[in-house]
Amino acid sequence: MAASFRTLCSSVLKNSNKHFSTTCGVRAGEKWRKEHGLSRSGTEYGPLTDLPDWSFADGRPAPPMKGQLRRKQEREVLARRIVMLSTEMDRGIEAWKEKQEEAKRMEEHKKSLLLKPKGKLLIKKS
């Protein structure tokens, strides 16, 4: 089935004088926007996407649009995840520091249990 569809498409395109491209389109200005600290496209974030399209004549703000609510929820989820991962990293660092201190205490305890020099060896060291 797929092979017959492919041959049909190729035969139609061969007989057509119009060109058919299968490459993906280049996003115009994406490199420039990234270099200047902007979003990849003009519709990801910014005043045109974040601010309401209209407001009431008496100055009241318009109710939020579905896209605005969705983006707000996505940002909240991302912020919660960042806070959770940050606290997890802090706890991990604290546990690592405690483990290092415990290892240091154990090493000092082992050194204190070693035999002490006596007699002439004690005098030579000091």
pLDDT, tens digit (0-9, with 9 covering 90-100), for 61-86: 889 889 889 999 999 999 999 999 99
What pLDDT is stored for residue 24 in this prediction?
A: 57
Cut 0.75: pTM above it: no
Contacts of residue 65, defined as CB under 8 A and 6 or more positions apart, other chains included, come to 52, 53
What pLDDT is stored for residue 80 in this prediction?
A: 98
| Alpha carbon distance 66, 73 (integer Å) | 11
CB of 61 closer than 8 Å to CB of 55 = yes
| Alpha carbon distance 9, 43 (integer Å) | 35
| Alpha carbon distance 75, 115 (integer Å) | 63
**What separation, in Å, do the N-terminal and C-terminal C-alpha atoms of the chain show?**
94
